[in-house]
């Protein structure tokens, strides 16, 4: 209501103002107030401001208006057109050396990339804007920029940097009284503390975010915070609390027509109820689907707006804006009458349908539940297929990159050998046996390299075939301790035979009370062999680097977990950095030097364990060692 009063006041001032720069600023102010909830109207006002700026030769106004139009297109989800317009505005500001305009351009372009989750690219532009921070920018612009940078570091998982920016920004926002930034800052700080396992501090920040967002009526921020709290409780295993806050997020999102919030909250609730209450799960899945369809239906609106942006119909739109206030009362009255009519019709229709279906409802209830469950399973299967197709592109790129490397070596050395053979024939004709022998030696060395890289390509292809091959083995009750003992010795003696300089100790700690587990022994053996080989490689490499008082050690243990058999493989090698741990199970990712690993072993092992209904986890401290843990259902 307050915003509507402000818009009405601006419109009254607009009607009093002539064709001058003040009119440009009034139109831009109206565009700011409309771009989040009515972006089409915002584009109308900003377009008028842009046309008038060109007529008045007012480049600052032109750049400002283009930024408003771009922001409205960003709200509609047309990020490509938004980015083009932001760049156009930036060029105008650079041509007239407008520091504030250049700062605004860099910040807006960075925000465009951040919205599309390209946080590295966004950070580049935010840093450019940061270099221009000064008196011309003002305190509010600096606070917004610092908040954006903190957001980028947060989603890039650089939590220490994110914390520094967010805390400094919070202090500045408090000092200047920028209350509309408090909710976002508290929510981001809550995510940082949750990552650090400071759960009490995280919850306090989330509660502060709720209070601050309610104070400034920022319902999108409020819905987002409730969604994060729901995820927080889900991670803590508190399902009831997770459901409670997801429902709050959904209620706020629906009340404020926040489609993205409705989608996220409904998707969470569908996941929570899946397997517990399939009817509720299908209900929330239907809400999520409707919200998603609603967001995609904006494509038609964007197309119409893009056409109107290019066409010469702006005078008609201006007249429509002037008469909007007069027609508003009539429109509300008409909508009220239509609403009452629709409600009466709906009640009559509902009563009629209830009378017709009362006797048939009990007979069809079982069929409806079964149909709902089938639809839910079909939807879930479709979502799984979508995820598989999304990952196919990444796997194809990895295969092309990995196999191209050894093939390049083979091709290059083959070409060199062809040239050397020609030289060898020439030297033999000349009777220069010494030079001919030298060339023959080079050819022999190149052939060895061709053989080496050919085997490398062969290893990659075999690994790929293993990665894509479904196991044909039969599951059988297996003693995990005996299986681990067999494969650790197989790995140790195999490496000893392969490299005479290799030497390491290994210890076993087996729990004989573990019941036998129903698995495919050869598949789990392949997983263990891969983990043992990696562990022995890690300690051997550390020993070569340190070349001092260091004793390589591998520890293999089994124990009985909570409804699971647990196998642990630990080493005291070099360890794995945190940044690498997130990628360790991806196909073709390897920490070994080129030629010593295909990057498929851990990925294949992960898939095998998952296929058995288990988990494969890694814990590592860089410089101290690594532990891989296999959990298999008892």
Q: In what order do the strands lie in the sheet containing 564-571?
A: 505-509, 553-561, 564-571, 625-633, 615-621
333: Cα separation from own chain's centroid: 46
Q: How many whole angstroms separate alpha carbon 255 and alpha carbon 567? A: 50
Residue 180 DSSP class: G
Q: Could you give the CA distance from residue 36 to residue 386 in angstroms, rounded to a whole number?
A: 31
pLDDT value at 335 more than 50: yes
* pLDDT tens figures, 382-422: 544 444 444 444 344 445 555 666 788 788 888 888 988 98
Greater confidence (72 vs 394) lies with 72
The per-residue pLDDT for range 119-145, each reduced to its tens digit, is 999 999 999 999 987 788 888 888 888
- Encode pLDDT of 226-248 as tens digits: 999 999 999 989 999 999 999 99
Q: 285 or 373: whose pLDDT is higher?
A: 285
Mean pLDDT of 152-157: 90
> Cα–Cα distance between 138 and 262 in angstroms, integer?
35
pLDDT tens string 578-634: 888 888 888 776 777 765 666 677 888 888 999 888 999 999 998 899 999 999 987
What per-residue confidence (pLDDT) applies to 568? Answer: 94
Instruction: State the pLDDT at residue 374.
Output: 79
d(CA 228, CA 500): 55
Structure confidence at residue 310 as a pLDDT band (50, 70, 90): very low
pLDDT of residue 313: 39
pLDDT in tens, 43-69: 999 999 999 999 999 999 999 999 999
| 542 alpha-carbon distance from chain centroid | 35
Comparing 67 with 316, which gets the higher pLDDT? 67
With tokens 């410089």, the residue in question is 623
Least confident of 28-32, 43-47, 305-309: 305-309
> Residue 626 forms beta bridges with which residues?
571, 620
What is the signed CA dihedral for 471, 474, 475, 481, rounded to 10 degrees? -80
| Cα distance between residue 104 and residue 140, in whole Å | 12
Q: Helix (H, G, I), strand (E, B), or coil: what is residue 505?
A: strand
Per-chain mean pLDDT for the chain: 81
pLDDT-derived band of residue 97, with 50, 70 and 90 as boundaries? very high
- Alpha carbon distance 147, 168 (integer Å): 9
With the CA atoms of 243, 245, 251 and 255 taken in that order, what torsion angle do they form, in degrees rounded to the nearest 10?
-160
Label residue 334 left, alpha or beta by phi (over 0 means left) and psi (-120 to 50 means alpha): alpha
Residue pointed to by tokens 């022998």: 437
Question: For position 15, what pLDDT does the model report?
Answer: 77
pLDDT, tens digit, 9 for 90 and up, residues 459-473: 666 545 544 444 556
Separation CA 153–CA 173 (nearest Å): 19
571's CB contacts (< 8 A; 6+ apart) are: 535, 536, 538, 539, 552, 553, 554, 555, 625, 626, 627
State yes or no: pLDDT of 317 exceeds 50.
Answer: no
Q: Which two tokens stand for residue 161?
A: 């940097």
Q: Give the pLDDT confidence of 524-542 residue by residue, as tens digits.
A: 988 998 999 899 988 888 8
What phi, psi does 520 have (nearest 5°)? -90, 105
CA distances from 588 to 138, 400, 464, 591, 609 (A): 48, 10, 9, 10, 18
Percent composition of the chain: helix, strand, coil (DSSP 3-state, to 5)? 75, 5, 20
Contacts of 321 (CB under 8 A, 6+ apart): 11, 41, 44, 45
Question: What is the token pair recorded at 175?
Answer: 């000092």
Residue pLDDT, tens place only, 471-498: 556 888 989 999 999 888 888 887 877 7
Structure tokens at 633: 């259902």
Which 3 state secondary structure label does DSSP give 506? Answer: strand
Q: Supply the pLDDT for residue 384.
A: 41
Q: Is the pLDDT of residue 332 over 80?
A: no
Cα–Cα distance for residue pair 204/187, rounded to 1 Å? 10
Residue 345: pLDDT band with limits 50, 70, 90: confident
Rounded CA separation 216/60 (Å):
31
Q: Which among 249, 162, 236, 255 has a CA at the least distance from the CA of 198?
A: 236
Residue 77, pLDDT > 80, answer no
Element holding 620 (H helix, E strand): strand 615-621
Q: What integer pLDDT is reported at residue 490 of this predicted model? A: 80
Contacts 24+ apart (CB under 8 A), 379-386: 379/285, 379/289, 380/274
pLDDT, residue 37, reads 62
Assess whether pLDDT exceeds 80 at residue 318. no
pLDDT at 322 over 60: no
Residue 94 has a pLDDT of 93
Statement: the pTM of the whole predicted model exceeds 0.75: no
Contact of 161 with 153, CB cutoff 8 Å = yes
**What token pair was written down for 488?**
């650790």
Of 577, 600, 579, the closest CA to residue 588 belongs to 600
Query: Is 80 exceeded by the pLDDT of residue 7?
Result: no
Q: Give me the percent of the chain exceeding a pLDDT of 90.
A: 26
């Amino acid at each position: 209501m307050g915003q509507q009063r402000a818009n009405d006041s601006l419109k009254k001032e607009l009607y009093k103002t002539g064709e001058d720069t003040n009119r440009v600023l009034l139109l831009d102010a109206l565009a700011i107030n409309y771009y989040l909830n009515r972006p089409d109207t915002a584009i109308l006002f900003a377009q008028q401001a842009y046309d008038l700026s060109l007529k008045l030769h007012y480049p600052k106004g032109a750049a400002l208006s283009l930024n408003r139009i771009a922001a409205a297109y960003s709200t509609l989800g047309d990020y490509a057109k938004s980015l083009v317009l932001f760049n156009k505005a930036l060029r105008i500001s650079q041509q007239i050396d407008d520091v504030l305009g250049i700062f605004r351009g860099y910040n807006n372009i960075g925000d465009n990339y951040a919205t599309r989750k390209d946080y590295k690219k966004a950070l580049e532009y935010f840093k450019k804007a940061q270099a221009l921070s000064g008196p011309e920018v003002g305190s509010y612009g600096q606070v917004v920029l610092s908040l954006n940078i903190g957001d980028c570091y947060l989603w890039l998982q650089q939590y220490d940097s994110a914390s520094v920016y967010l805390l400094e920004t919070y202090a500045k926002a408090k000092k200047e009284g920028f209350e509309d930034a408090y909710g976002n800052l508290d929510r981001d700080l809550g995510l940082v503390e949750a990552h650090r396992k400071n759960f009490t501090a995280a919850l306090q920040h989330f509660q502060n975010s709720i209070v601050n967002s309610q104070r400034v009526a920022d319902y999108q921020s409020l819905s987002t915070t409730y969604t994060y709290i729901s995820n927080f409780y889900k991670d803590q295993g508190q399902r009831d609390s997770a459901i409670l806050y997801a429902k709050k997020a959904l209620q706020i999102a629906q009340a404020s027509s926040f489609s993205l919030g409705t989608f996220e909250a409904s998707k969470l609730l569908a996941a929570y109820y899946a397997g517990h209450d399939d009817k509720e799960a299908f209900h929330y899945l239907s809400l999520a689907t409707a919200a998603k369809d609603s967001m995609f239906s904006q494509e038609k609106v964007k197309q119409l707006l893009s056409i109107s942006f290019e066409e010469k119909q702006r005078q008609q739109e201006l007249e429509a804006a002037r008469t909007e206030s007069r027609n508003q009362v009539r429109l509300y009255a008409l909508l009220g009458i239509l609403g009452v009519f629709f409600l009466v019709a709906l009640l009559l229709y509902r009563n009629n349908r209830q009378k017709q279906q009362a006797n048939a409802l009990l007979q069809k209830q079982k069929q409806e539940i079964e149909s709902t469950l089938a639809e839910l399973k079909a939807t879930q299967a479709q979502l799984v297929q979508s995820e598989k197709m999304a990952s196919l592109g990444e796997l194809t790129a990895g295969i092309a990159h990995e196999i191209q490397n050894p093939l390049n070596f083979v091709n290059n050395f083959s070409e060199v050998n062809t040239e050397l053979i020609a030289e060898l024939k020439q030297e033999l004709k000349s009777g220069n046996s010494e030079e001919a022998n030298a060339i023959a030696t080079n050819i022999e060395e190149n052939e060895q390299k061709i053989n080496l890289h050919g085997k490398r390509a062969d290893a990659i292809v075999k690994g790929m075939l293993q990665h894509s091959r479904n196991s044909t083995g039969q599951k059988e009750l297996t003693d995990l301790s005996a299986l681990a003992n067999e494969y650790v010795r197989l790995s140790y003696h195999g490496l000893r035979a392969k490299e005479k300089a290799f030497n390491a100790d290994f210890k076993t700690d087996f729990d004989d009370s573990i019941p036998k587990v129903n698995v495919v022994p050869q598949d789990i053996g392949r997983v263990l062999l891969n983990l043992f080989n990696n562990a022995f490689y890690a300690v051997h490499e550390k020993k070569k680097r340190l070349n001092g008082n260091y004793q390589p050690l591998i520890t293999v243990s089994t124990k009985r977990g909570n409804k699971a058999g647990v196998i642990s493989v630990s080493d005291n090698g070099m360890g794995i950095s945190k940044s690498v741990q997130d990628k360790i199970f991806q196909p073709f990712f390897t920490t070994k030097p080129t030629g010593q690993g295909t990057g498929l072993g851990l990925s294949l092992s992960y898939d095998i364990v998952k296929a058995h209904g288990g988990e494969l986890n890694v814990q590592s401290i860089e410089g101290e060692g690594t532990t891989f843990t296999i959990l298999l259902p008892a």
